[in-house]
Structure 1
Amino acid sequence: MRIVLIGPPGAGKGTQAAVLSERLHVPHISTGDLFRDHVTRRTPLGRDAQRYLDTGELVPDTVTVGMVRERLARPDARHGFLLDGFPRTVPQARELTTVLAATGATLDAVLELTAPEDVVVQRLLSRGRPDDTEDVVRHRQRVYESRTAPLLAHYAGILVTVPAVGPVEDITARALAGLTEAGAA
């Protein structure tokens, strides 16, 4: 089962990815974790990424796609995965299609977690991180809407939308039911 998980910052993607990965017996692949791993190991891709991260700029798609391509080639991801944080744009989605097609694979579903903006803003502010000011958090919501939300139309045929408000177990149950109904689980 090959699933992409999308939703605005604070929708609970990391929480659900960890739970769903275990329940579905597929690896949770987070681009944030990939960046940290490559930077820590000082791989060529990590050194490229670090240059952009140091200046606060977005890491170019070529670097991100390279990391994802390498990770998806590992044995544990050959029969499925849960991608968290990639793709974030339609061009990245096209790159993912190309990466998967090279192995004869396709995505089974795109799981969208939704929550009202005020809910996700409060979730992020409650983490207490110094960089999580309300202005910054709301700006991240705008960036999500402009850059990532177009993926919803791109993936309309395999999109499973789940409300991400309530207890974690309830959200997980809705996600699993949606994936099952879509024939992806």
Structure 2
Amino acid sequence: MERVAFYGGAALVLLGLLFLVFSRRESKGEHRFEFAGLKLRSRTPAFVVMAFGLALMWISPQFPVPMSYAREPQVVTKDGGMVDYGCGSHAVSTVEYTAPAGYRIVSAQPDTKDVVSTKAATPKITSKDERHVTAQADFDGKDKDTFGLNCPGGGHGRVSLRVEIQPE
């Protein structure tokens, strides 16, 4: 908002100066400004326009910070396929991500998602470079009961990958 106030005020001050320097006073109390085919008329004295512009610049909290073209990293989340596993068994879910053209990968963090009835779930990055990353999660099913006869139920889960990318 300070940019709007500051630059709007600066434009009004410039407009007031142009009216003050280049305008002609008409008999009806109007000021007339003609420049390069542009014709403007005003009943407001130039100093009022300049004063309003200065007031706008004054209420701006500070001189506006120049706009930066460096963009913040973007966050992309991608999920791997759902895997099912039974008691005492093992399953692996994988996911891979390739950065779009003109972007590079800044960071990548694997995690597990939608995990139900598991003994262990271990996410990890298996390969990573500036443009491509691959992650996997290893899932181990619960152990059978003490006598090895009953299974408390199979489970499922998937790997999830959170990637930050930024323009090259």
The TM-score with structure 1 as length reference comes to 0.20
The TM-score with structure 2 as length reference comes to 0.22
Task: Report which of the two has the higher share of helix.
Answer: 1
Indicate the structure whose relative CO is greater, using CA pairs within 8 Å and at least 6 residues apart: 1
Report the structure number with the largest CA radius of gyration.
2
